[in-house]
Amino acid sequence: MTTQQKIIRNKVGVLELAQHLGNVSKACRVNQEPGRRGRREGGGGNGR
């Protein structure tokens, strides 16, 4: 499995959890996804 496949697999898992919880932010916190908790924390995003 390539690094890219591992990243995609993890993101799919987060999305499935988000669907189950009904909340993307909670799913990201559970999976400790840095940069997914808000724009102020930096790391990720497209600068909008």
pLDDT in tens, 2-42: 999 999 999 999 999 999 999 999 998 888 756 555 555 45
Structural domain of 25: 3-34
Contact 27, 17 (CB under 8 A): yes
Number of domains in the chain: 1
Alpha carbon distances (Å) from 21 to 1, 4, 18: 28, 26, 5
In a domain? residue 41 = no
44, two tokens? 């990720």
26: Cα within 13 Å, side-chain hemisphere: 8
Q: What local confidence, expressed as pLDDT, does residue 28 receive?
A: 87
In a domain? residue 28 = yes
In a domain? residue 48 = no
In a domain? residue 24 = yes
In a domain? residue 42 = no
